[in-house]
Structure 1
């Protein structure tokens, strides 16, 4: 028995059991239950091992940045610094703060003030100096 609101003819289009699966053209997998569709069914080739070392450094360092331990500290304007590779610098920078001996710092350097004599080491002017924690 049917009433006025119950359709008596089936809906237009193929029935759910005869519809093609969702997805792309035939042969491509469909996304199901929240799983993504793979972009490729083939495995990408493995990168080749280099035959020679790189011509240029792969990690470029800024030439105006150095880091090391303060060897002659205090409230400035002269500081001594030794880097991990043993290079010694005589740094000059008025008003840069107090850095006790043994403090590890990162320094942005500039040209040395020719009037400043801050002891042994490569002379350099301090643009910025920060303690490393």
Structure 2
């Protein structure tokens, strides 16, 4: 809806307060938009007290150390922890394969060798 005081055409570029002037610079007397100035980051005074990357407690990533067609597998994570994995019908994994494993409670009846016993909920090869 317009009235006789509302212009019917847009003003030419650079004449509105929000339009940049020639060369993309703001008109004289106008401050530079905040998005044109990158923020200055300060160096932290000390390392964080708590990990900044939250890990899921039910996920493990590492290399298979005892492979085969299951149901028992061995896994060593990058930090050197050894796990005794147990899960039926999950496939064949060769020794040295890098995997991502979603784990659950260990089956008390399963004896899968040395390492922390855990049950396998899902296992995927990392490529």
Unaligned runs of 5+ in 2: 1-11, 27-31
State the Cα deviation string for residues 63-119 of structure 1 (Å, max 9, x = none).
111111111111111001111221110000001111011111110111101110000
Larger Rg: 1
State the Cα deviation string for residues 11-58 of structure 1 (Å, max 9, x = none).
xxxxxxxx895221xxx763558x486524984652222112112111
**In the aligned structure 2, how far is the partner of 1:21 from the partner of 1:95?**
69
The two structures have a TM-score, normalised by structure 2, of 0.74
Q: Which structure carries more helix by proportion?
A: 2
Name segments (4+ residues, structure 1) moved above 6 Å.
none
Number of paired residues?
111
2:94 to 91, 96, 100: 100
Q: Which residue of 2 aligns with 1:79?
A: 73
Unaligned runs of 5+ in 1: 1-18
Q: Which residue of 1 aligns with 2:4?
A: none
Instruction: Tell whether the 8 Å contact from 1:23 to 1:31 is kept in structure 2 after alignment.
Output: no
The two structures have a TM-score, normalised by structure 1, of 0.71
Q: Which residue of 1 aligns with 2:109?
A: 115
Q: Which residue of 1 aligns with 2:41?
A: 47
**In the aligned structure 2, how far is the partner of 1:88 from the partner of 1:112?**
14
Query: Is 2:58 the counterpart of 1:64?
Result: yes
Seen in structure 2, the aligned counterparts of structure 1 residues 110 and 44 have a Cα distance that, compared at 3 Å, is: same
Seen in structure 2, the aligned counterparts of structure 1 residues 113 and 31 have a Cα distance that, compared at 3 Å, is: farther
